């Protein structure tokens, strides 16, 4: 922790001075990222009541935090893309004029750090030493944010060294202000490479390297520089011969990306392993070999706690046993943590996420449904040897998915890249508690990027199409749905480790080793080509999982039209013609 300026970068110095003038903190502290600094900040945060220490024997190095009750999820209605022209932000983003946004937020930031410390957090998104890195600097008055950023990014002196005297960086200004949701704004200024976030202390709104830089700003930069910043997990699938193939998969929040990235193969699939490269974000570039190469720009996992147990995700459980920050879970009497869906019996007593006494007979949940763990990725037993390879890993298959009780089958393959972009563009999912708002409503979430694309969605689809034209050896594109239900509302597919069976089919298809049924929506597996050994699923269930209902798809296409109309004139004609081709196939064939 340094009190004097440790950088020769004049732009950085000037910007920190400017922010301090606006926010008027008592002190300015530059973070160096050392363990000594972490210990000192932890001590201070405990003193301020921002975090509590968990039992040091059972949960070594772990901290417990609660956010205010009205500040537990991303706030999409208060998230803005502030480009000079509204058109650049597109119709699916909230837009604010940059002058107005700076003025409005300045009023909230003004003097808001009086009596507080302003921390300067330099960080790297990407692998240190890689030419594809982006450097960010977050200014914040929250020690909780600093402690989380040091897990989620490569932070401190290492980032200042990489930045050097002349380097460019994303300016991120964060302040808690009064944590009043009327004063909560998450504003992105892609033309200024700047983010201003105020009035929140919840991860997705305030860990500015993650959704704000690595997705919203990075997707804008990717469009200009010719690469993709995506809301995707990345994993390597090792087969019994030892060969590893990599997949990247996009799912909306809370649809199991982290579980898929850390999947443990079922006992009946001997010789298979899944290696985690990343669980949330993929930066993908075209390699010299004409393939798509993906890097996880983050250094940690900011995962959803409820439902994580030794069956659903033993690797995540192992990863969070030390040096982890738990937010909005239940704190047990013996200094441990608990959440709904954890192994074993619930504790007899505890303090819930609101800070109130809790017992199993309480009507309220112990942990908030969007409660989180922040854990260093390197602690995950399934972490890939390649996860810090600056080149990234070559992607054989891209997978899109959503949470759909009906309509979408367990898995299908698109016909080609253009059709795959259409499939990604039409992904829909039932909403979850990762964002404020109604839960369980079907909404279009193209490429799982609706809340994260930093520019016009139609232009984003065009960028995907352009990437496909440049790829000599593109990954094959698939769509999956682990959440299909029968008429009685029961989920049909067991999910979790068994999802590897679907990945196995996907990779066989990507390699051209297996046939498929050429259906109206794309290539469907023949039931006999799915590896179902050791799994108890009736042929009727398999048939339901792979079935497509003409009526459902006609409704689906109508709903797509409404969404495409919203995107407006920038919707690429290729997407329109894919849709028309599907309409034609549906009207010609009985499915
Ligand atoms: C996340 C999200 O936190 O997608 O990863 O909401
Ligand atoms: Mn996410």
Task: Check if 279 has its Cβ closer than 6 Å to any atom of ligand 1.
Answer: no
Mean pLDDT score across all residues of the chain: 96
pLDDT digits (tens, 9 = 90+) for 48-76: 999 999 999 999 999 999 999 999 999 99
Please name the residue that has the structure tokens 């890249």. Answer: 417
Query: Which domains does the chain carry?
Result: 10-30+75-225 (3.40.449.10), 230-296+387-587 (3.90.228.20), 300-379 (2.170.8.10)
pLDDT digits (tens, 9 = 90+) for 153-168: 999 999 999 999 999 9
d(CA 138, CA 506): 40
Q: Which residues pair with 136 in a beta bridge?
A: 123, 170
Span from the CA of 304 to the centroid of ligand 1 (angstroms): 8
pLDDT over 90 for what percent of the chain?
94
Letter string b/e over residues 325-362, b meaning 16 or more CB atoms within 10 A of that residue's CB: bbbbbbbbeebbbbbbebeeebbeebbbbeeeebeeee
d(CA 178, CA 49): 16
Q: Phi-psi region for residue 136, left (φ > 0), alpha (ψ -120 to 50) or beta?
A: beta
Of 223-227, 427-431, 510-514, 522-526, give the lowest mean pLDDT range: 427-431
Task: Check if 374 has its Cβ closer than 6 Å to any atom of ligand 1.
Answer: no
Closest CA to 502 of 306, 243, 274, 254: 274
Secondary structure class of 504 (helix, strand, coil) = helix
**Stretch 342-352: mean pLDDT:** 96
DSSP character string of 201-245: -SHHHH-TIIIIIIIIIHHHHHHHHT-EEESEEEEEEE-TTS-EE
Q: Is 74 exposed, middle or buried (0-12, 13-18, 19+ CB in 10 A)?
A: buried
Positive or negative: CA dihedral 180, 78, 138, 392: positive
* Consecutive H or E run containing 393: strand 393-401
Q: Is 205 exposed, middle or buried (0-12, 13-18, 19+ CB in 10 A)?
A: buried
> How many secondary structure helices (H) and strands (E) does the chain include?
16, 31
Positive or negative: CA dihedral 574, 253, 101, 298: negative
Span from the CA of 283 to the centroid of ligand 2 (angstroms): 14
Among 148, 280, 432, 453, residue to substitute to test ligand 1 (most atoms within 8 Å of Cβ): 280
> What is the residue with the minimal CA distance to atom 4 of ligand 1?
253
591: pLDDT strictly greater than 60: no
What confidence category does residue 442 fall into, taking pLDDT thresholds of 50, 70 and 90? confident
Q: What is the pLDDT of residue 271?
A: 97
d(CA 421, CA 461): 7
Separation in Å, CA 591 to CA 236, 459, 587: 34, 33, 10
Among 211, 215, 281, residue to substitute to test ligand 1 (most atoms within 8 Å of Cβ): 211
Q: What is the pLDDT of residue 454?
A: 98
589: pLDDT strictly greater than 80: no
What confidence category does residue 383 fall into, taking pLDDT thresholds of 50, 70 and 90? very high
Span from the CA of 5 to the centroid of ligand 1 (angstroms): 33
Tokens coding 242: 């030892």
What confidence category does residue 2 fall into, taking pLDDT thresholds of 50, 70 and 90? low
Task: Measure CA 256 to chain center.
Answer: 11
Residues contacting 562, CB < 8 A, separation 6+: none
pLDDT over 70 for what percent of the chain?
99
Task: Check if 74 has its Cβ closer than 6 Å to any atom of ligand 1.
Answer: yes
Residues contacting 577, CB < 8 A, separation 6+: none
**Stretch 99-123: mean pLDDT:** 98
Query: Checking DSSP bridges between strand 170-175 and strand 194-198, what pairing results, if any?
Result: parallel
Active site residues: 255
Q: What is the pLDDT of residue 131?
A: 86
Please name the residue that has the structure tokens 């989920």. Answer: 491
DSSP character string of 413-434: E-SSHHHHHHHHHT-EEE--TT
Which numbered ligand comes closest to the C-alpha of 203?
A: 1
pLDDT digits (tens, 9 = 90+) for 303-336: 999 999 999 999 999 999 999 999 999 999 999 9
Q: What is the pLDDT of residue 177?
A: 96
Among 75, 212, 253, residue to substitute to test ligand 1 (most atoms within 8 Å of Cβ): 253
Task: Check if 302 has its Cβ closer than 6 Å to any atom of ligand 1.
Answer: yes
- Residues 89 and 95: beta-carbon distance below 8 Å: yes
138: pLDDT strictly greater than 80: yes
**Stretch 571-589: mean pLDDT:** 94
What confidence category does residue 526 fall into, taking pLDDT thresholds of 50, 70 and 90? very high
d(CA 173, CA 345): 43
The structure's pTM equals 0.97
Q: What is the pLDDT of residue 1?
A: 66
**Stretch 137-150: mean pLDDT:** 98
Tokens coding 528: 């006999």
Backbone angles phi, psi at 536, to 5 degrees: -100, 85
> CA 452, 152, 62: angle at the middle one, nearest 5?
130
146: pLDDT strictly greater than 70: yes
d(CA 460, CA 475): 18
Tokens coding 136: 């960010």
Closest CA to 571 of 417, 437, 465, 412: 465
Q: Which atom of ligand 1 is nearest to the CA of 304?
A: 3
d(CA 73, CA 576): 34
Task: Check if 210 has its Cβ closer than 6 Å to any atom of ligand 1.
Answer: no
């Amino acid at each position: 922790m340094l009190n004097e300026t440790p950088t020769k970068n004049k732009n950085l110095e000037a910007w920190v001075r400017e922010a301090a003038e606006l926010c008027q903190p008592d002190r300015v502290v530059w973070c160096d990222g050392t363990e000594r600094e972490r210990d000192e900040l932890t001590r201070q945060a405990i003193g301020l009541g921002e975090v509590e220490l968990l039992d040091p024997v059972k949960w070594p190095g772990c901290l417990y935090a609660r956010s205010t009750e009205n500040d537990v999820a991303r706030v999409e209605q208060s998230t803005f893309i502030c480009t000079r022209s509204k058109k650049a932000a597109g119709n699916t983003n909230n837009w604010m004029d940059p002058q107005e946004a700076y003025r409005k937020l300045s009023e909230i930031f003004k003097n808001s750090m009086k009596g507080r410390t302003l921390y300067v957090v330099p960080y790297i998104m990407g692998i240190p030493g890689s030419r594809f890195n982006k450097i960010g600097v977050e200014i914040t008055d929250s020690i909780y944010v600093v402690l989380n950023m040091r897990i989620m990014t490569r932070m401190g002196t290492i980032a200042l060294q990489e930045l050097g005297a002349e380097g460019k960086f994303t300016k991120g200004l964060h302040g808690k202000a009064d944590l009043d949701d009327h004063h909560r704004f998450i504003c992105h200024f892609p033309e200024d490479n700047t983010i201003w976030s105020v009035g929140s202390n919840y991860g997705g709104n305030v860990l500015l390297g993650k959704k704000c830089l690595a997705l919203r700003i990075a997707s804008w930069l990717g469009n200009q520089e010719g690469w993709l910043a995506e809301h995707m997990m990345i994993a390597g699938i090792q087969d019994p011969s030892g060969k590893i193939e990599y997949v990247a998969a996009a799912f909306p929040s809370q649809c199991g990306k982290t579980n898929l990235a850390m999947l443990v193969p079922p006992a009946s699939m001997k010789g298979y392993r899944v290696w985690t490269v990343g669980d949330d974000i993929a930066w993908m570039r075209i390699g010299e070999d004409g393939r798509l190469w993906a890097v996880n720009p983050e250094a940690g996992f900011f995962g959803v706690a409820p439902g994580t147990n030794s069956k659903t995700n033993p690797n995540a459980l192992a990863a969070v046993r030390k040096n982890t920050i738990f937010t909005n879970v239940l704190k047990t009497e013996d200094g441990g943590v608990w959440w709904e869906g954890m192994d074993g019996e619930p504790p007899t007593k505890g303090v819930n996420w609101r800070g109130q006494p809790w017992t199993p007979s309480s009507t309220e949940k112990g942990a908030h449904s969007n409660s989180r763990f922040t854990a260093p990725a390197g602690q995950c037993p399934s972490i890939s040897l390649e996860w810090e390879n600056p080149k990234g890993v070559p992607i054989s298959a891209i997978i899109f998915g959503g949470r759909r009780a009906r309509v979408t089958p367990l898995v299908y393959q698109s016909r080609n890249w253009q059709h795959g972009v259409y499939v990604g563009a039409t992904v829909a999912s039932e909403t979850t508690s990762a964002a404020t708002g109604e839960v369980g409503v079907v909404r279009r979430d193209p490429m799982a990027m609706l809340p994260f694309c930093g520019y016009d969605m139609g232009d984003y689809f065009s960028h995907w199409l352009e990437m496909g034209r440049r790829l000599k050896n593109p990954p094959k594109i698939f769509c999956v749905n682990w959440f299909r239900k029968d008429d009685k509302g029961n989920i049909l597919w067991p999910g979790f480790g068994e999802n590897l069976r679907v990945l196995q089919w996907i990779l066989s298809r990507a390699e051209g080793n297996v046939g498929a049924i050429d259906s109206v929506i794309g290539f469907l597996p023949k039931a006999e080509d799915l590896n179902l050994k050791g799994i108890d699923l009736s042929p009727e269930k398999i048939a339901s999982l792979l079935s497509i209902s003409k009526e459902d798809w006609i409704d689906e296409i109508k709903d797509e039209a409404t969404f495409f109309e919203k995107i407006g004139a920038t919707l690429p004609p290729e997407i329109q013609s894919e849709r028309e081709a599907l309409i034609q196939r549906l009207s010609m064939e009985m499915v």
